[in-house]
Amino acid sequence: MMTKKAPNPIDKHVGSRVRMRRMMLGMSQEKLGDALGLTFQQVQKYEKGTNRIGASRLQQISHILQVPVSFFFEGAPNVPGAARAEGMSEAPSPAYVSDFLATSDGLALTKAFMRIGDSKLRRRIVDLVEQIASVDKR
């Protein structure tokens, strides 16, 4: 009996960044697939990291999603010899941030939050959410 091989962590990360950017643009998997000449199921496999994205395909995706190829590797786990982008912090961004932004709720919440112009109100919202989260831990 053959066991399924787990996706490579880099492939999963790149796929999640494709998903995050696609969702940021409000683009469906079907629309991205059409632009790539693929089915939405193939896009799903890329986004889950089940299928590896080749270099030329990644270049094509970066053009369609209007980001540099390096965008897909930001915060990637264990990338030996990866140069840090100028102005980036020393520690890679935590994976949970990417995971959160790759969800429809996370993206909607972030977009709505960023439209709040009053910085004091934004701070009060953060305080409220932190209080709710600490109550949930009890």
> Residue 47 in 3-state DSSP?
helix
The dihedral region occupied by 5, where left means phi > 0, alpha psi between -120 and 50, and beta the remainder, is beta
What pLDDT is attached to residue 112? 87
Predicted model pTM: 0.63
Give pLDDT tens digits for 72-118. Answer: 988 887 655 444 444 444 454 566 677 777 788 888 888 888 888 88
Query: How does DSSP classify residue 7?
Result: P
Domains in the chain and their CATH numbers? 1-77+90-102 (1.10.260.40), 105-138 (no CATH)
